[in-house]
Structure 1
Amino acid sequence: MTRPISVQLYTVREPLAADRDAVLRRIAEIGYRAVEPYDPLNDPKGFRQVADDLGLSVSGTHAGALLSREPAEVFDAVATLGTDQVIVPAGIAPEQFTTRDGIQRAADLLNGLAEQAAGAGMRIGYHNHWWELEPRVEGRHAIEVLADLLAPEVFLEIDTYWAAVGGADVPALLGRLAGRVEALHVKDGPVVKGEPHTAVGAGVMPVPEILAAAPDAWRVVELDKCATDVFTALADSHAHLTSLERS
């Protein structure tokens, strides 16, 4: 794996809102060399300047605004951030993933966005939660049906933790989705809805097997919520992932 380990900045959303530059500096000091923003419209030029100064690249960005704002505005901001991976993180109703017709509508939405993104030199990705895994459609997890209906240029960012919460054997799922997955949210914890996450390596997720199943995907650390100091958890996660990459 040659890509640097990234961190989804939603993990540090509260301190980030208070002092963005200090938070990015601390992330860089931990050893991260990439970040994944979740609001590309929030001062993209200023963000890019600070990230560049700290040696932080942008692995991709979540862009829920694509579903509520003019896409061209979002793509302009993403270009300023310096990435071509634009990820829809939510916003499609969970009920859509319970039937093939609903999944087709979700795919049509993403494929339409992908056509617009291509004109800006960008690619669209989709990030799952548990509700794309829990429903079984035609005997498969709903996200697998979605993958079949997506245009070839649309990629997946698999949130490995929520996939497990949704009932998936995550390494096996990644194997079946091979070629479609370009990023992983690597997270750990008890795999129970509503319970806080832990540092990667401190929970029950089969992290080595997951990484082996998608060796070329970006590794993006995220803790939706954390019972311990979040920066300590990020440092422990980085150390654990670094040790696995070296082994």
Structure 2
Amino acid sequence: MIVLGRRALLRGMGAVGAAAFIPGCSGSETPAASARFFERIGKPVGIQLYALVGQDPVEDPAALFAQVRNMGFGEMELPNLLGHEPAALKAAADAAGIPIASLHVPAKAFDLTGDGLVFGDNPGAVADAAAALGVTNVVIPFPVLPDDFGVQEGEQFPQAISRTFQAATLEHWQASAELFNQLGSAMRDRGITLGYHNHNLEFAPLGDTTAWDVLMAETDPDLLKFQLDLGWVAQAGRDPVAELQSLSGRVVSLHVKDIAADSGQSFYFGMSPTEVGSGTLDWANILPTAEAAGVSHYFVEQEPPFAMPREEAMAQSLAYLQNLEA
């Protein structure tokens, strides 16, 4: 399947060319714009590869990228380096004909980083990896963990995260904002846009404010952009449309993620995931708002557990989005 933006262009060209053979049509008339959202805006539907492979290394990235391209996705975001060198991933993506548009890199190491690429004290190494991938968008996918973070005996990683951030202080989030500004400055100097990806925990009450409000107020809009994960926004009881409007010009990309009606509200994980279009989010209103807010990339993602094989879930989400009229 051809990348959606290119497909829309080719269809438009074909319609103009065919107009000369239609009775009563001069060939100079402009064809009606498509009502399908992604054809109308001329951008591809992308995928965050975490939805297909999780955080595990990938034995054959060339085969994975070809699969993603054949599914019909037009670009992809890497959850890490998948256990390979950046140059090898770039070569595999080029061979498959699908660009790598974004890369997740944690600010500090934690158990789910997979390949060990983190900002830490060496943002230059992240910039070098991004350059080798041909990527100009790097996203911090998770909050900064306290230095004393650890998983207690009998505790699962998500439980440890929940316990840690329920105890996180205002000062912790202020220090995180300062770090993000520093990293954003270092990335900007290297021609890279830095973003931050939310979960639901940023929206939990923090005294008379929230961590999200702290990040909004204390990060420089020129240094830190956002990747808004709409599933986690909705899980926290927030309105995705309102969040997009309030962040207009600052959201570079979306995680297009849906939640089931029984998800309820929570601030520390606890989501009932579902395929895009099968849940509660109003995509016909959300996506045009995202376009107006200046969003450039739309990555389908879904949290486990899956009700069907991951590939089928992603195909179902893609089909819904490709046919969505908005």
Question: In proportion to residue count, which structure has more helix?
Answer: 1
Does structure 1 residue 236 correspond to structure 2 residue 316? yes
The letter of the residue matching 1:20 is P
Deviates more, 1:94-103 or 1:155-164: 94-103
Q: 1 CA distance for matches of 2:121 and 2:315? A: 35
Q: 1:160 corresponds to which letter in structure 2? A: L
Q: Which amino acid is 1:116 matched to?
A: A
**Post-superposition shift, 1:32?**
0.6
Please tell me the residue identity of whatever aligns with 2:68.
I
Answer yes or no: is 1:109 the counterpart of 2:188: no
* Pairing partner for 1:128 from 198, 209, 216: 198
Distance across 1 between alignment mates of 2:76 and 2:178: 29
- Distance in structure 2 (CA, Å) of the matches to 1:90 and 1:32: 25
Q: Which of 79, 90, 99 in structure 1 is aligned with 2:131?
A: 79
- Aligned with 2:48 (options 8, 30, 39): 8
> Which residue in the other structure is 1:142 paired with?
211
After the TM superposition, which residues 12-31 of structure 1 pair with which residues of structure 2 at under 5 Å, given as runs? Answer: 12-13=52-53, 17-31=58-72
Unmatched 5+ stretches in structure 1: none
Secondary structure of the 1:158 match is strand
On the 8 A contact 1:188/1:200 being kept in 2, the answer is: yes
Q: Displacement of 1:156 after TM fit?
A: 0.3
- Of residues 199, 211, 217, the one that matches 2:275 is 199
TM (norm. structure 2) is 0.69
Alignment partner, residue 111 of structure 2: none
The Cα offsets for residues 57-106 of structure 1, whole Å up to 9 and x where unpaired, read as 12211111334362111110111111111100014146499654333211
- Report the aligned-residue RMSD: 2.4
Deviation track 1:98-142 (CA, whole Å, cap 9, x = no partner) reads 654333211101000011112211121100011111225655x53
Instruction: Give distance in 2, aligned partners of 1:127 and 1:160.
Output: 10
1:142-177, Cα deviation, whole Å (9 max, x unpaired)? 324312321122100011001111121111111111
In 2, the alpha carbon distance for the partners of 1:97 and 1:146 equals 17
Contact 2:173–2:211 at 8 Å: present in 1 too? yes
Which of residues 194, 218, 236 is equivalent to 1:166?
236
Gaps of at least 5 residues in structure 2 are 1-40, 107-116, 146-163
Residue 5 of structure 2 corresponds to none
Largest Rg, 1 or 2: 2
| Whole-angstrom CA distance in 2 between matches of 1:135 and 1:158 | 19
Q: State the identity %.
A: 30
Q: Could you tell me which residue of structure 1 aligns to residue 300 of structure 2?
A: 221
* Distance in 2, Cα, partners of 1:23 & 1:174: 32
Secondary structure of the residue that 1:179 maps to in structure 2? coil
Query: Comparing 154-163 with 4-13, which one deviates more in the overlay?
Result: 4-13
Q: In 1, distance between residues paired with 2:301 and 2:73?
A: 13
Q: 2:60, 2:301 → 1: CA distance? A: 19
**Letter of the structure 2 residue corresponding to residue 80 of structure 1:** A
Give 1:168-183 correspondences, 5 Å limit.
168-183=238-253
CA contact (8 A) 2:235 2:259 kept: no
